[in-house]
Structure 1
Amino acid sequence: MMLKVKTPKNARVKRALEKRAPKLVENGRKTLILQGTKTSNILNTVLTEIFHLKRGNAIRYTRKNENIRPFESGGETSLEFFSLKTDCSLFVFGSHSKKRPNNLVLGRTYDHHIYDLVEVGVENFKTMESFSYDKKLSPKVGSKPFFAFIGEGFESVEELKHLKEILLDLFRGEVTENLNLAGVDRVIVCTAVSSNTVFFTHCALRLKKSGTVVPRMELVEVGPSMDLIVRRHRLPNAELKKEAMKTPSEQHKKKVKNVSRDVIQGKIGKIYIPDQQVGGTALPHNAKGMKRERREARMNPEVRRHAPKKQKMGPK
């Protein structure tokens, strides 16, 4: 049977579909933050503060979701539906149980299907309000953070390498080529304490005088901070990873005829002019040269005397 292709009914739906369609330069990634059936007060605060750190590029669902069970077959359907509905390619899912208390699942989607997952437990959590600092140092909405990953575990341990990739995608925002250093006002520091434990903290940058042009920078902890204990993780399979890592070829520009570029001279163009037929060019009846000769003849009496006289034409 042939698959039925649905066409948009109006211009608004058509624009929405074009916005979600694949592009050469993709839009910034959005994050979906939601929770399961049971949560704790600590976990609710963690989800809320992650939402504040991602303000502008995140969507927060506060209702309980019973059918979402990551790492289980059939338990990811609702999560993929919400990803498609909100057009989010990143998600943070929180749940709480006796076996896995204060549990966070961080993951990515490809084509609105689960790509990979990392499950961590939250311990020693401190909120933003528990830190005393000048409120002028609070990070501004939309600013891009620096990242500092301290420890050899991020290069040698598979679980920590995977967690590092997801944390980078989660907090880095849109990819930019040019950066204004005045807008970089915060740092996210991740320290590998052990092979399965990462200390996560959020700091603000304070610029101080150093006696030179380059200011001295100090870190002021503004929160939140917590220990992330890696419990489970699932890597994408090789075929899915190969398909997701494909980079689209750029659209070839239409070649302009007779135009080339040189490193030294820059843009060089050739102009072709057809042969001019000078013999067939029409000249004016009273040429300027003839007028000049008549004017000189009137002024010079010698030329006027020897010039042939006009003969009067009369009846024979």
Structure 2
Amino acid sequence: MLKIKTPKKGRVKRELEKRAPKLVETGKKTLLLQGTKTSNTLNAVLTELYLLKKGSVVRYTRKNENIRPFESGGETSLEFFSLKTDCSIFVYGSTSKKRPDNLVIGRTYDHQIYDLVEVGVENFKPMNSFAFDKKLAPQVGSKPFVCFIGEGFESVEELKHLKDVLVDLLRGEVIENLNLAGVDRAYICTAASSNRVFFTHCALRLKKSGTIVPRMELVEIGPSMDLIVRRHRLPNDSLRKEAMKTAKDQPKKKVKNVSHDSIQGKIGKIYIPDQKLGDMALPNKSKGVKRERREGKRKNDPNKHASKKQKEDSM
């Protein structure tokens, strides 16, 4: 039997708790990899993705020969790297004569390959090629808008799948409340045809509009590129069913003597037990109280505590 080791140090224990399954997931980490052959365009694309997702991304710059995502047996290395880095999204770049400037974007569930989308990169423009005010540069960790324009994202199966993957890749950490002052960027994806998507990155500029709500302008800051959908693989039905499981909402415990009213709000009843003042211990025992107790005892039993004068009269 395998021996199960428990962490002895607090740092290791906290790290394992972060990797443990959660009912509500936070942001997903991204893993950037490259194959045996890459071009200058692919290296620039991976570098730009690393800068855009700084803080929640891991990049490996070594060449990987055994990674073939769409072939059986070529996913072992990807699953190993996913388990090692605790990343649930990966971007793998490679180039060949048949598929130049090729990017494979995939997701994993329980460190197993969930789905894959393969796209080709064309007309790439890095951030350095755009002239804009450096004050408009997005801050690290800011929350972006993700906008999809075109009917193809709702009707074409390949584009629908690409939309789901891009949302997970770009949205960052999942939050409940949002401050509009911290939203300073937008990713815009436009479906030009059934297999071509124009991707660009813009900064949001707030201007006066004469009202409380400011007027927004988009300033293109890059990168921008054309994504050509080549191949995609949907998840298995059994794996999809297992990944889509959600925890049942636990019923709230009924609180006694508490009710809710639409006008008064939360109403509670408080029950106070009877106060027995006679049994309470007094903090200060004054002499007057002692004298009253002695007199009360004499009245109840006069023969027991009789004074000397009373004893002489009786004799």
The verdict on a shared fold, with TM-score over 0.5 as the criterion, is yes
In the TM superposition, 1:111-190 aligns within 5 A as 111-190=110-189
Residue of structure 1 equivalent to 2:94:
95
Instruction: Say which is worse superposed, 20-29 or 265-274, in terms of deviation.
Output: 265-274
Deviates more, 1:135-144 or 1:213-222: 213-222
Matched, 1:76 2:83: no
1:6 matched to which residue of 2? 4
Q: Is the 8 A contact 2:26 2:174 kept in 1?
A: no
2:199 is aligned with 1:209:
no
Q: Choose 67-76 or 16-25, whichever is displaced more.
A: 16-25
Question: What letter matches 2:6 in structure 1?
Answer: P
- CA deviations 1:82-132 (Å, max 9, x no partner) are 000000001000000000000000010000000000000000100100011
Residue 38 of structure 1: aligned partner: 37
- Provide closer, same or farther for how the CA distance between residues 101 and 274 of structure 1 changes in structure 2, counting only shifts above 3 A: same
Q: What is the CA distance between 1:68 and its match in structure 2?
A: 0.5
Cα distance in structure 2, aligned partners of 1:237 and 1:142: 34
Partner of 1:242: 241
Uncovered stretches (5+) of structure 2, i.e. residues with no partner: 293-308
Within 5 A, what are the aligned runs for 1:156-305? 156-250=155-249, 256=255, 258-264=256-262, 265-274=264-273
User: SS of the residue aligned with 2:17?
Assistant: helix
Q: CA deviation at 1:254?
A: 5.5
Q: How far does residue 222 in structure 1 lie from its aligned partner after superposition? A: 0.4
Determine if contact 2:25/2:174 at 8 Å carries over to the other structure.
Answer: no
Q: Offset at 1:255? A: 5.2
Where 2:59 maps in the other structure, the secondary structure is strand
Q: Distance in 2 between matches of 1:181 and 1:282?
A: 62
Q: Equivalent residue for 2:300?
A: none
SS at structure 1 position matched to 2:96: coil
Q: Deviations over 1:262-290 (max 9, x none)?
A: 14344444444556779999999979xx9
TM-score, scaled to structure 2: 0.84
Q: Structure 1 pair 261/242, CA: closer, same or farther in 2 (3 Å)?
A: farther
What one-letter code is carried by the residue in structure 2 that aligns with 1:76? Answer: E
CA RMSD of aligned residues (A): 2.7
Shift in alpha-carbon separation, 1:212–1:27, aligned structure 2, 3 A = closer
State TM-score, norm by structure 1: 0.84
Q: Against the structure 1 CA distance between its residues 278 and 9, is the aligned structure 2 distance closer, same or farther, given a 3 Å change threshold?
A: closer
Please state how far the C-alpha of 1:248 moved relative to its aligned partner. 1.9
Give the partner amino acid of 1:32.
L
Q: How does 1:47-86 map to 2 (within 5 A)?
A: 47-86=46-85
Asked if structure 1 preserves the Cα contact closer than 8 Å seen for 2:50 and 2:59, the reply is: yes
Aligned length: 290
Structure 1's 286 and 171: CA in aligned 2 closer, same or farther, altered over 3 A? Answer: same
Following the alignment from structure 1 to structure 2, what is the Cα–Cα distance between the partners of residues 14 and 140?
32
Q: Read off the aligned partner of 1:33 and give its amino acid letter.
A: L
Return closer, same or farther for 1:274/1:99 CA change in 2, 3 Å cut-off. Answer: same
Q: Distance in 2 between matches of 1:279 and 1:174?
A: 63
Rounded to whole Å, the distance in 1 between the matches of 2:90 and 2:234 is 16
> Given residue 165 of structure 2, which amino acid in structure 1 is its aligned partner?
I
Q: Which runs of 5+ in 1 are unaligned?
A: 291-311
1:221 to partner: Cα distance: 0.5
Counterpart amino acid of residue 155 in structure 2: S
Contact in 1 for aligned 2:143/2:172 (Cα 8 Å): yes
Q: Which residue of 1 aligns with 2:303?
A: none
Q: For residues 36 and 166 of structure 2, what CA distance do their matches in structure 1 show? A: 25
| Separation of aligned partners in 1, 2:231 and 2:56 | 26
Alignment match, 1:293: none
Distance 1:5 1:155, change over 3 A: farther
Name the SS for the 1:99 alignment partner: coil
Aligned-pair identity (%): 74
The more displaced of 17-26 and 183-192 is 17-26
